[in-house]
Amino acid sequence: MNKEKNFEKNFRDAFSQIHAEDGLKAQTKSYLAQQINKKKRHSFPVLQAAAAAACLFAAVSAGGAWLYLSPASYISIDINPSLELGINRFDRVVSVESFNSNGQDLAEQLDIRYMDYSDALEELLSKQTVEAYLADGAVMAVTVAGSDEEKTNQILENVETCTAGHSNISCHSGDIEEMHEAHSEGLSLGKYRAYLELKTLDPTVTPDDIRDLSMREIRDLIDDLKSTDTGKDEDNTGNSSENGAGNAGSGPKENGTSAGSKRHGHRHGADNNW
């Protein structure tokens, strides 16, 4: 017990020597204390708990604001602008990354870094341009990703609460691996998932084809292709019934419709909404 008390006293004394913003120091200190308490609750030996906390403390000391500035979760926000917010362990926005020109324009309008992510999301939704876009029938996808499933679910629940009063907004969860795949294609996670859905219907579609499309336009493409496929199936069924097995080889004529042929037709105003 004396060893534990001495360690915690030394920890507090050492932490007080770090010159940092008061809020950052308090939040980081709280986080480290939580890690120590976790070790205690799981009946780890005192020295093991001390070693774990010492490692975390060393990381903070060496990296300055390492814990505070490192994203642990991400919120992808996609309308036509595509943004991703990096969220640290203390629920603060520590990064804002854009994935297209409209996303860059929106990012420049926002001053949300270091805000609580719920407040940041409400700030984004209150922007006149975003409100006008949603009022005009746009679709917004909000996708939460993180390596900690429990934390991801918690953020998702809060995001759903924040967006509950708005129409045409859907909330989803993802994972870090899928997010990295999206980034390798130059897309945000939300738009990448829509791209994969579209690609199953039209294998010729590429990330460049949809990067500057709005989520509404991508959804319209998906719905059109699904409708076309349904029409073909019904036509095939009708021909089989009317013509019998003898004409089965002739089949219906292809109408030539594909996402590739429609992409340009659905780009109406995609770059003029912002």
Q: Is the pLDDT of residue 257 over 90?
A: no
Do residues 145 and 174 touch, judged by C-beta distance below 8 A? yes
Q: What is the per-residue pLDDT for 265?
A: 42
Confidence of residue 64 (pLDDT cuts 50, 70, 90): very low
Q: Rounded to an integer, what distance in angstroms lies between the CA atom of residue 233 and that of residue 255?
A: 13
Averaged pLDDT score across all residues of the chain: 76
Confidence of residue 67 (pLDDT cuts 50, 70, 90): confident
Q: CB neighbours of 175 closer than 8 A, spacing ≥ 6?
A: 145, 146, 147
The pTM (predicted TM-score) of the whole model is: 0.65
- Average pLDDT on 120-133 reads 92
Q: Where are the domains of the chain?
A: 2-68, 71-186
- The percent of residues in the chain predicted with pLDDT above 90, rounded, is 50
Q: What is the per-residue pLDDT for 54?
A: 58
- Beta strands 169-174 and 140-146 are parallel
Structure tokens at 148: 């900690």
- Average pLDDT on 200-229 reads 93
Structure tokens at 220: 């319209």
Q: Rounded to an integer, what distance in angstroms lies between the CA atom of residue 81 and that of residue 100?
A: 7
Q: Is the pLDDT of residue 146 over 70?
A: yes
